[in-house]
Structure 1
């Protein structure tokens, strides 16, 4: 049976009193919506208040992940199943070697993309099936889901127009592909509002950052 996508990860270690020792936050959305900016703003905010913050991304959060990122986004053409499996391999290594150890020692982990991107991009965008890709991703991550997922929602045409440099394989996948992935993100968020925070990414970056901080504040009560 597929785990409940909205459940707080059962295997994240718990501190005395029942609270999680760490906090796992993912940022999702299309290309060019400002995920990296929001990750950086939140990371600086939390670090200034005494929290250990681990900032990472998928793919590419580890040395092996950087190699996989190059292969997936800038290498030779891949069929959809190979692409999905490479993302899953990156995720398995990323969680085992970086994310889970950081959570176990009480850090806040902020990731630019996580398994919801695979479900949207490979499951829906590439047509592999959202349920199949979700099962693969959950298996790779041993069921680990973020406590909060921030979706920065924006018209794909606007987001792609913000990008500079040569587009990677996913950025150049076409307008229909990007519309499907946006719809997939919004559908997942609507099904699980306890985990997701959906924000209009056309707002100024500081306004978005304030809304993210407000959402996380109850989970960080009592922190330095």
Structure 2
């Protein structure tokens, strides 16, 4: 059982702004905004940009990622990165366990306090990667997600869509740029780290299945999803995201 004190501590770790100053929240109710997308789509960058924009507009916000931000989540992240988990069903259970802890310890307490939560990957990542990508039955994942998040549902899911062939080129380009600035010892260590990314190193067939899964989900839930072309420049992607998020905020503003 997660205590109220633990939940308060978790919120202090992730709440923006970081200067400790309180600010008026323009929303009465916290919103749950999730980011989805394949490898190299720029999710993490856009999550950070959005939460900073929200804070500047008077929306108290936190940014969390899956798996992570709780002791269980960080342990699951280590297991997944170590490639020691080979069974897709086992992966699914681990992601759902980490998600259950994150929802109870961080997301739900934040929303209850009127804090908007930005999540870098949520339930749809498991559906896309383990379901469409690795063949875990979708009804099994749906059942686990229902148990994991109960009535919690994103107010908006932003899908950063990009062709896997293009995203692979982007990833390789970024790797080469980063490696070029390092000495040989650091370069070797960094290269091993890049090569250890479990999902970036999956087959192109896998990445296309993941993308198709995302697009299928987005087209089935158009009212709560926004598809943004991640092939555009970082600033243009951010502008597109903000336009959609602002519409959501305007419908929930305090009087």
Question: After the TM superposition, which segments of 4 or more aligned residues of structure 1 sit over 3 Å from their partners?
Answer: none
| Residue 177 of structure 1: aligned partner | 206
> Are 1:202 and 2:231 counterparts?
yes
**1:181-203 deviation digits (Å, cap 9, x = unpaired):** 10000000000100100011011
CA offsets, 1:148-202, max 9 Å, x none?
0000000112223333322422222211111101000000000010010001101
Length-normalised TM-score, structure 1: 0.86
Gaps of 5+ in 1: 1-18
Alignment of 1:126-141 (within 5 A): 126-141=134-149
Q: How many residues align?
A: 206
Partner of 1:218: 247
Given that 2:81 and 2:196 are in contact with CA atoms closer than 8 Å, whether structure 1 keeps it comes out as no
Provide the rounded CA distance (Å) in 2 between the counterparts of 1:192 and 1:27: 15
In 1, are the aligned partners of 2:89 and 2:136 still within 8 Å (CA)? Answer: yes
Q: Distance in 2 between matches of 1:83 and 1:188?
A: 21
**Which protein is richer in helix relative to its size?**
2
Where in structure 2 are the equivalents of 1:25-174 lying within 5 Å?
25-163=33-171, 164=175, 165-174=194-203
Shift of 1:64: 2.2
State the SS of the aligned residue for 2:223: coil
Show structure 2 runs of 5+ residues with no match: 1-26, 176-193
Q: Provide, for residues 62-105 of structure 1, a one-character-per-residue CA deviation record: whole Å limited to 9, x for no partner.
A: 23211110102224142111010000001100101011111110
TM-score, L = length of structure 2: 0.76
Aligned alpha-carbon RMSD (Å): 1.7
